[in-house]
A and B are shown apart, each in its own frame.
Chain A
Amino acid sequence: MEPVSELKYVKVFQKVTKLMSMALDHQQVMDTIVRELPALLDIDAATIRLLDASTGSFVLGAAHGLSMEYLSRNQIDTDKTMTMIHSGRPVASVNVDQTAQGTDKELVDQEGIKSVLTLPILFQDSVIGILRLLTRRHRLFTPDEISFSMALAEQVGIAIANGRMFTEMENQIDFMQEMQKISSLVNSTLDLNAVLQIIVNRLPRSMGCKACTIRLLRPENNQLELVASSGLSEGYQQRGQVENEHNIAVALTGAPVSIYDVSHDERVSYKEDMEKEGIKSLLAVPIKVKGEVIGIIRVLSATSHCFTSSEINFAATMAEIGGAAIQNARTYQKITLLFNQVEESERFVANILNCIRPQLVVVDRQQHIVLTNRVFIAAMNKEENELLGADYHSLWQENHCARENCPVEQVLQTGMAASYEHQVMKDDGPHWVERTASPMLDERGEVEFVIEVIRDITAKRQLAQEHLERVKLQGVVELAGTVAHEINSPLFAALGTAQLLEEDLDSTELIADVQTIIRNLKAIGALTQKMTSMTGFESRDYVGETKIGELR
């Protein structure tokens, strides 16, 4: 094959420059270069590989004239060649079909590759990729061709860098806008599930990726739990635990992980599942809250994609925004839960207070009502909102209970429990109430609130009165029994003696007198019998369990 003439170099250079200037992004630049160069340089194939800074390996950017099998081989070139490339120098291999070894040789033979010119793509003295020019016939690359190709590769480097920069800037603007939208969306709700779903739906869309997952660490066992996903099949999601995957482990330490080729990367455990799901590349970023990792977001790409630093930053920032929103939603959940518990407790206490029969009222230091039960509200014949905050003393009329006797007043003055009984007039007449006030002390031991329990003791008082009267009656009856007993014995003696005397007397007049005595004694006897008939009331032992009163 004839070497390329100088004029042709100029034409080729012009065309490449034109192509590069027309290309919109670096991918388009790479695709154009590899497609056009074979014809221009009289070669059979061309590839561009870009340096993946995270792994130090070169990943395929664009290729033309080669099979997928060849492109997918493990090793790009010999170690010697790669070392030269890394040092920024080109390497021309005329007989690769003879120098290649092992499986590489098989692939080289299969592809029919004979000669290869490998050129570093430089940008600002740094290797950013490799341009390889391949022929299926033995070809000697002249120094001029190599020099020209180096210049061309450098142009490609500039074009890629510019394209990357442009794409980066475009991406950054897009990301800024997306970030604003997603941030606004996740902050528009405190529903945790909604927040998670917004992130997994919007993030892959913003990054032009296929799918997204969020895993959060369970606080109770520190295990990751898949809490939201988009773009993935159910079977893939059920593939197994991912905690042990290296990319996850690294992300959990707080560092993002970008994997260009998931099917060959050792940091991925479920390579086959990913391939089956159509996943080529992934980005795992930690979800951080105040510097602490609370979970992982993984963005999965359906095309081989080398995630740029701005994409990684975007994802990391989104993860941080998401983290804050997740934390807010979790805090809101906790607050809601606590609030519900407090409400439940309040309802429970209110039910208890409403179920107790006495009236209950709680008064603060300023003697304003802060709590009442239903019985108190009904007794006051007012609405609850009328009572709450009302002045306590305004509820009582002075003639019911003078302020100095008020137990609430006494508790506030002395800090000790106090009680007072008084009458109140009601529709059905006067009622007796017992008011018992107890202090509720604050941390300093001062009265903070006063709890007053008000009971209607009218029935109790009536009962006590009835009991008193019953005791009095009992005394009277016992006295009657005692009198009867104490009288009956002497009465028996007097009556019997009088009857004997009547028998012994001769004088009619005296007999009449004794009969008068006997008649009156019998009348007394009848009276005592009536008295003894009132039985059932005793005060001291008589016989057996019978008791009578002692007459003094």
Chain B
Amino acid sequence: MAEILALDDVLDATVLIGKILTKKGHSVHSFTEEDEAIAYARTHKIDLAILDIKLKKMSGVEVLGMLKATTPEMRAIMLTGYPTVETAREAISLGADEYCVKPIDRDELEEKVEKVLKASGKKSSITV
């Protein structure tokens, strides 16, 4: 049972993430606005953040940096519809645990979340 923050500029995507992970017993807080998500994370404990890279005002990588600055132990999975080596390298350097390409399969998402939460406290295992 983990506290998960989902941030995507597409509302349906956040809703979907919420539905999938809620079914798995997690508590999911979905946002489409970066400011609201960051503000929430400052006042609430977050175990895992699932961040889209392409957001409305800033990039998911920047949001990751800000969240990690306040909660270094927080885990993170990056989602993107347009993967690039650059964004992957930057996300990892900021402490992202997974870098997934949309459209991600439901099973794959569940697996990645479980894997990241289990590995909590360990170093990122992904490679680009």
Contacts and interface: CB of A to CB of B under 8 A. Distances in A.
B53 interface: yes
B86 A489 contact: no
Interface stretch (B38-46, B67-75, B96-104, B113-121): B96-104
A544 interface: yes
A492 B61 CA distance: 20
A544 B78 CA distance: 15
A493 B16 contact: yes
A481 interface: yes
Interface string B40-81: 000000000000111000011100000000000000000111
B13 A493 contact: yes
A51 interface: no
A326 B10 CA distance: 105
Contact of A500 (B10, B20, B84): B20
A497 B90 contact: no
A529 B90 contact: no
B82 A545 contact: no
A323 B52 CA distance: 104
A532 B103 CA distance: 12
A492 B105 CA distance: 8
Select the residue from B12, B20, B23, B84 with max chain A CB neighbours within 10 A.
Answer: B84
A499 interface: yes
A491 interface: yes
Interface string A487-506: 11111111111011000000
Contacts of B54: 485, 489, 542-543
Interface residues of A, number: 30
Contacts of A485: 54, 80-82
A500 to B, nearest CB: 6
B12 A484 contact: no
A546 interface: yes
A48 B13 CA distance: 148
B10 A542 contact: no
B86 A495 contact: no
Nearest to A548: B82
B16 A496 contact: yes
Interface SS of B by simple majority: mixed
A542 B19 CA distance: 28
Interface in A534-552: 535, 542-546, 548
Contacts of B52: 489
A497 B86 contact: no
A521 interface: yes
Contacts of B101: 488, 529, 532
A492 B87 contact: no
A481 B60 CA distance: 18
A492 B82 contact: no
Given A497-B12, A500-B16, A543-B90, A488 B103 contact: yes
Contacts of A529: 101
Interface in A254-285: none
A496 B22 CA distance: 13
Given A500-B19, A543-B53, A492 B13 contact: yes
Given A544-B90, A546-B84, A491 B19 contact: no
Contact of B81 (A492, A499, A544, A546): A492
A535 B82 CA distance: 9
Nearest to A489: B10
Contacts of B2: none
Interface residues of B, number: 33
Contact of A543 (B10, B13, B16, B84): B84
B103 A542 contact: no
A522 B106 CA distance: 12
Interface in B1-54: 8-10, 12-13, 15-17, 19-20, 23, 52-54
A493 B12 contact: yes
A85 B76 CA distance: 145
A439 B79 CA distance: 66
A525 interface: yes
A6 interface: no
Interface string A290-317: 0000000000000000000000000000
Contacts of A497: 12, 16, 19
A526 to B, nearest CB: 10
Nearest to B16: A496
A486 interface: yes
B12 A542 contact: no
A220 B45 CA distance: 102
Given A496-B16, A497-B12, A548-B82, A543 B103 contact: no
A487 B81 CA distance: 8
A488 B86 contact: no
Given A488-B102, A496-B109, A532 B13 contact: no
B65 to A, nearest CB: 12
Nearest to B79: A492
Contacts of A500: 16, 19-20, 23, 106
A231 to B, nearest CB: 100
A531 to B, nearest CB: 9
Nearest to B82: A485
Contacts of B61: 543-544
Contacts of A488: 80-82, 101-103
A489 B84 contact: no
Contacts of B103: 488, 491-492, 495-496, 521-522, 525, 528
22 contacts: A481-B82, A485-B54, A488-B101, A488-B102, A489-B8, A489-B52, A490-B10, A492-B104, A493-B10, A493-B12, A494-B12, A496-B106, A499-B105, A521-B103, A532-B82, A535-B84, A542-B59, A543-B54, A543-B60, A543-B61, A543-B86, A543-B87
Given A543-B87, A544-B61, A544-B86, 14 more contacts: A487-B81, A489-B54, A492-B16, A492-B103, A493-B12, A493-B16, A494-B12, A495-B106, A497-B12, A500-B19, A525-B102, A529-B101, A532-B82, A543-B53
Interface of A: 481, 484-497, 499-500, 521-522, 525, 528-529, 532, 535, 542-546, 548
